[in-house]
């Protein structure tokens, strides 16, 4: 899941800069970093809605961040279904159950 996590961070940061100009006081790693990515990995199979995703990573987000992430996660899940023997799609801990 490290590749998944790094790709998610990189692509979300790139998406951020399609909305906001670079050089501002707020940068994407302030809103989404390894901490949030790890939380998503730990609840990967139980993120079934934008609301559950929000509970996993918290409420601080830029416009459309949660929706973009949810779509990105679902695309990844779909690719995993096509490659069921891929170890990166194994079950993980769930922070939603706590």
In 3D space, the residue among 33, 29, 44, 58 whose CA is nearest the CA of residue 90 turns out to be: 44
> Hey, where are the domains in the chain?
2-85
Half-sphere CA count of 4, side-chain side, radius 13 A: 23
Cβ neighbourhood burial of 12 (10 Å; 0-12, 13-18, 19+): buried
How confident is the model over 24-43, as a mean pLDDT? Answer: 92
Alpha carbon dihedral 44, 50, 52, 53, in 10-degree steps, equals 50
> 66-86, pLDDT tens digit by residue?
999 999 999 999 888 777 654
Contact 42, 92 (CB under 8 A): yes
The predicted pLDDT at position 2 comes to 87
What is the reported pTM?
0.79
């Amino acid at each position: 899941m490290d590749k998944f996590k790094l790709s998610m961070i990189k692509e979300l940061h790139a998406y951020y800069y399609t909305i906001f100009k670079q050089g501002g006081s707020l940068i994407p790693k302030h809103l989404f970093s390894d901490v949030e990515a790890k939380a998503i990995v730990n609840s990967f199979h139980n993120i079934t809605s934008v609301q559950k995703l929000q509970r996993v990573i918290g409420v601080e987000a830029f416009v459309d961040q949660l929706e973009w992430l949810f779509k990105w996660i679902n695309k990844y899940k779909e690719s995993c279904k096509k490659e069921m023997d891929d170890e990166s799609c194994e079950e993980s801990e769930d922070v939603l159950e706590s």
